[in-house]
Amino acid sequence: MTAAGGLSVELRQPGPIPLDVAFDCAPGELLALVGPSGSGKSTILRAIAGTYRAAGGRIAVGPEVWFDAAAGIALPPQRRRAGMVFQSYALFPHMSALGNVMTATGHLPRAEREGRARELLARVHLAGLEARLPSALSGGQQQRVAVARALARAPQVLLLDEPFSAVDKATRQRLYREVAELRRSLEMPVVLVTHDLDEAVLLADRLTVVSRGRSLQTGTPETVTSRPDSVEIARLVDLRNVFEGRVGAHSEQGTAIDWSGKLLEAGPLPGLAPGTPVSWVIPDGFVVLHRRDRPSRGERENPVEGHVETLVPIGQMAWVSFRPSHDGTLPLQFSVPLHVARRNGLAPDAAATVSLLTDGIHVIGPRTKPAS
């Protein structure tokens, strides 16, 4: 594949689709833009491809500037070399799979085009189906033709717009593996747009959370899903345990968080003065159920007593809503394997104790307005 420079994107406009985004994507990196439907993710992708023109901002790939509103630069899509896989694939329905891929090989000498298209179709496991029309291909096969067509341009950037949304679950799992495999051989930046956080976590090196046209946070999946920069991001990445508290005393081990009178030990928070109101989150993997026959094993584990409010078995897991005794305003949510729930007698109204692991407590603050 073509050696490529990194992609840097900055887009700003007040309307009609408000945009305020900035992110980078290194060569060979897969960056996922994640956010709810209608948050402007696809518009960002179209702006990179050149089929949408934002009022302000700058888009560059390596030293090449594709768009710079201030300098009056806006290259047409034909001059951008961006490979795009559309949400509904947008295959040309009157052309065979081969014809679709060959359409994007206009930069090659005529004699090489068919060979290159066949090579790409073989690479996405479609050898032998070159003559088929898109209507004679399955959803997964259509997606592969779309990927081959996007790669046929020898793109400097690969853009994937919800590429897995139109196929069934089994096909999607297979396509995940194929994309993960394929991207190891790609040297260009890859930007994936998806509303599915699990998909993004599975495939991406980094995530950018997008909401209402704004890029809120960029980081590794682990960072974004466990250490969100704001309460809004916490909700967007489906962190259910978001609480309010105040900064307590600082010590050598860390900083205490006062959660409605209960002191929790968190990591060190040197920048926050005692008494500062903060929001804090804990991913459900850091909420640990105590065994009935064995109480808390240490003081650093922030034991919290309370009772089970609801227990919903989903597959082999039990989703537990736990009401702490010291503050009944908001329940803690966590999941445990169903057999663990049974062994520990977890049931609605049963008393239980959980630990909030210090490593998992992430403080968002200081809070300037009440978290909604």
Partner 1 sequence: MDWTALWLSFRLAGLTVLALLPIGLLLGRWLAFGEMRGRSVIEALILLPLVLPPTVLGYYLLVAFGAASPLGQAWQSVAGQPLAFSFEGLLLASILFNLPFAVQPTQRGFETVGADLRDAAACSGLSAWQSFLRVELPLAWPGVLTASVLCFAHTLGEFGIVLMVGGAIPGETKTIAIAIYDRVQAFDDAAAGRMAAVLLVLSLATIALTLALSRHLGRRRA
Q: Applying CB under 8 A, does 84 fall inside the site for partner 1? A: yes
**How big is the CA angle at 328 (ends 324 and 330), to the nearest 5 degrees?**
90
Q: What is the DSSP secondary structure assignment for residue 346, as one 8-state letter?
A: -
Cβ of residue 67: shortest distance to partner 1, in angstroms?
A: 15
Q: Which lies closer to partner 1 via its Cβ, residue 107 or residue 300?
A: 107
Answer for the pair 327, 262: CB distance below 8 angstroms, yes or no: yes
Query: Using CB under 8 A, which of the segments 74-82, 162-170, 261-269, 328-336 binds partner 1?
Result: 74-82
Sketch the per residue contact string, 143 through 182, with partner 1: x for CB under 8 A, - otherwise: ------xx-xx-----------------------------
Answer for the pair 257, 245: CB distance below 8 angstroms, yes or no: yes
Q: Which lies closer to partner 1 via its Cβ, residue 152 or residue 289?
A: 152
Q: Binding partner 1 by CB under 8 A: which of 88, 138, 173, 325? A: 88
Structure tokens, 317: 């897991």
Q: Which residue has the tokens 């052309």?
A: 95
Angle between helices 139-152 and 169-183 (to 10 degrees): 20
Q: Applying CB under 8 A, does 321 fall inside the site for partner 1? A: no
Cβ of residue 137: shortest distance to partner 1, in angstroms?
A: 13
Q: Applying CB under 8 A, does 320 fall inside the site for partner 1? A: no
- The Cα 32–Cα 44 span in angstroms is 12
Q: Applying CB under 8 A, does 94 fall inside the site for partner 1? A: yes
Query: Using CB under 8 A, which of the segments 43-51, 195-203, 237-245, 278-286 binds partner 1?
Result: 43-51
Q: Binding partner 1 by CB under 8 A: which of 90, 182, 202, 317? A: 90
Q: Which lies closer to partner 1 via its Cβ, residue 89 or residue 280?
A: 89
- 323-332 long-range contacts (CB < 8 A, ≥24 apart) are 324/262, 326/259, 326/260, 326/261, 326/262, 327/259, 327/260, 327/261, 327/262, 329/260, 330/243, 332/241, 332/282, 332/287, 332/304, 332/306, 332/356
Answer for the pair 296, 290: CB distance below 8 angstroms, yes or no: yes
Q: Taking the CB of residue 166, how many other CB atoms lie within 10 A of it?
A: 16
- The Cα 215–Cα 368 span in angstroms is 20
Sketch the per residue contact string, 110 through 139, with partner 1: x for CB under 8 A, - otherwise: -----------------------x-x----
Q: Applying CB under 8 A, does 23 fall inside the site for partner 1? A: no
Q: What is the DSSP secondary structure assignment for residue 290, as one 8-state letter?
A: P
Q: Applying CB under 8 A, does 67 fall inside the site for partner 1? A: no
Cβ of residue 161: shortest distance to partner 1, in angstroms?
A: 10
Angle between helices 110-123 and 139-152 (to 10 degrees): 140
C-alpha distances in angstroms, 176 versus 109, 134, 162, 201, 204?
33, 21, 12, 12, 11
Query: Using CB under 8 A, which of the segments 48-56, 123-131, 165-173, 345-353 binds partner 1?
Result: 48-56
Q: Which lies closer to partner 1 via its Cβ, residue 65 or residue 90?
A: 90
- The Cα 129–Cα 137 span in angstroms is 8
Q: Which lies closer to partner 1 via its Cβ, residue 22 or residue 74?
A: 74
Q: Which lies closer to partner 1 via its Cβ, residue 100 or residue 226?
A: 100
Q: Which lies closer to partner 1 via its Cβ, residue 150 or residue 346?
A: 150
Question: In sequence order, what are the residues at sequence separation of 6 or more whose Cβ sits closer than 8 angstroms to the Cβ of residue 205?
Answer: 29, 30, 31, 220
- The Cα 305–Cα 324 span in angstroms is 6
Q: Binding partner 1 by CB under 8 A: which of 14, 76, 267, 274? A: 76
Q: Which lies closer to partner 1 via its Cβ, residue 107 or residue 291?
A: 107
Q: Which lies closer to partner 1 via its Cβ, residue 126 or residue 269?
A: 126
Q: Which lies closer to partner 1 via its Cβ, residue 87 or residue 358?
A: 87
Q: Applying CB under 8 A, does 297 fall inside the site for partner 1? A: no
Q: Can you give the binding site for partner 1, defined by CB under 8 A?
A: 46, 49-51, 76-78, 81-84, 86-88, 90-94, 103-104, 106-107, 133, 135, 149-150, 152-153
